[in-house]
Amino acid sequence: MRIAAMTFRLQAPWVHSLKEKRMIVKSLIARLQNRFHVSAAEIDEQDIHQIIVIGIAAIVPHNAMADSLMDEISLFVEENTEAEILDEMREIR
CATH at 85: 3.30.70.1120
| Domain count within the chain | 1
- DSSP, residue by residue, 40-85: EEEEE-TT-TTEEEEEEEEEESSHHHHHHHHHHHHHHHHHS-SSEE
Residues 41, 52: contact at Cβ < 8 Å?
Answer: no
pTM here is 0.90
pLDDT of 46 reads 85
Half-sphere CA count of 3, side-chain side, radius 13 A:
6
Q: Which domain holds residue 27?
A: 2-92
At 19-75, the pLDDT tens digits run 999 999 999 999 999 999 999 999 998 888 899 999 999 999 999 999 999 999 999
Three-class secondary structure of residue 28 per DSSP? helix
